[in-house]
Amino acid sequence: MARDIGIDLGTANVLINLSGKGIVLNEPSVVAVDTNTDKVVAVGTDAYEMVGRTPGNIRVIRPLKNGVIADFDITEEMLSYFIEKLNVKGFMSKPNILICAPTGITSIEQKAIIQAAEKSGGGQVYLDFEPKVAAVGAGLDIFKPQGNMVIDIGGGTTDIAILSMGEIVTSRSLQWAGDAMSRAIISYIKNEKNLLIGQRTAEQIKIQIGAAFKPDPDKSMTVRGRDIVDGLPKQITITAPEIQVALQDGLMSIVAATKEVLEQTPPELSADIIDRGIMLTGGGALLRNMDSLITYYLQVPVLTADDPLEAVALGTGILLQNIEQHTKKR
């Protein structure tokens, strides 16, 4: 018997949940390709190690952009590699696959995701939306007639949704999330400090000293990069308040979109959300004081999931147990 598979196909990371085993894979959504031969040379963690450090003939590709497939063939190869690695296919049967997508994607993009999963070795392929699956993974009972609100801040998209009776009532999907935070940090350091840094350095800055609200003025970090003026290697010190300034505009767009979703919500469900709070999931939920920022501007309690990075993948595992309730989206 093939085991059922839940896939959180993220812009930054792919997580796979295997029925009966839990989360068995968590690797970056990155593929390295030799441009001379068009052959894949590394996938996942091995490919991520090469980011910014490859010779001219090796191209490191992130096949997903803003939560959707930007390069179909590479996505298919990446999924096939990960599924092959798990060795889950039965002798005669193919596993059911539940795969997650942002709320804002088109039906064509939905088809592309389903097709990639089918081609990588799936049997029945089901598609569900990230905030719904994240809510289930964060422990919310979304199947009752009551309002639940989730903000899922991933790598490529921030998905904001109100759920009731197992369905999305209102939602918004923003293309400002973890990757955009890193780009904002790169841009700020280039403009304010005349220093060019890479994506991996920006990620480290975000993790070590990044804060969404009330940054610690004593937190700082030494950053190395290339001086824009003379082109030589240089190191500078950057502080947590400076990084908060770099992220400010984007963070306020998440606050504004959350406010918009709340304004479109039926009053009974709004009352539930004031009682129950908003649940934060996704890697962006780990940015310091993200919950405080939203509470401050919207006056609604905000909770962070116990394991925000794995919430979507955990949710796929729970939903796979009742997979027949899902409709196959073609």
Q: How high is the pLDDT of residue 115?
A: 86
Output the pLDDT for position 309: 93
Q: What is the mean pLDDT of residues 219-226?
A: 96
| Domain 133-175+256-309 architecture | 2-Layer Sandwich (3.30)
Beta strands in 93-157 (DSSP E): 97-101, 125-129, 148-153
What are the boundaries of each domain within the chain?
Answer: 5-130+312-325, 133-175+256-309, 178-246
| Binding site listing for ATP | 11-13, 155-157, 203-206, 283-286
pLDDT for position 328: 47
Query: Per-residue pLDDT tens for 106-141?
Result: 888 888 888 888 887 767 889 999 999 999 999 999
Share of the chain above pLDDT 90, in %: 67
Provide the CATH number for the domain formed by 178-246 in this structure.
Answer: 3.90.640.10
Phi, psi at 102, each rounded to 5°: -65, 160
Feature table: binding site: 11-13, 155-157, 203-206, 283-286
Q: pTM (2 decimals)? A: 0.90
Domain 133-175+256-309 and domain 178-246 have a common topology: no
| Overall fold of domain 5-130+312-325 | Nucleotidyltransferase; domain 5 (3.30.420)
Contact call for residues 279 and 147 (beta carbons, < 8 A): no
Per-residue pLDDT band for 68 (boundaries 50, 70, 90) equals: confident
Evaluated on CA atoms 316, 146, 173, 281, the torsion sign reads negative
- Better-scored residue on pLDDT, 83 or 236: 236
Residue 52: pLDDT over 80: no
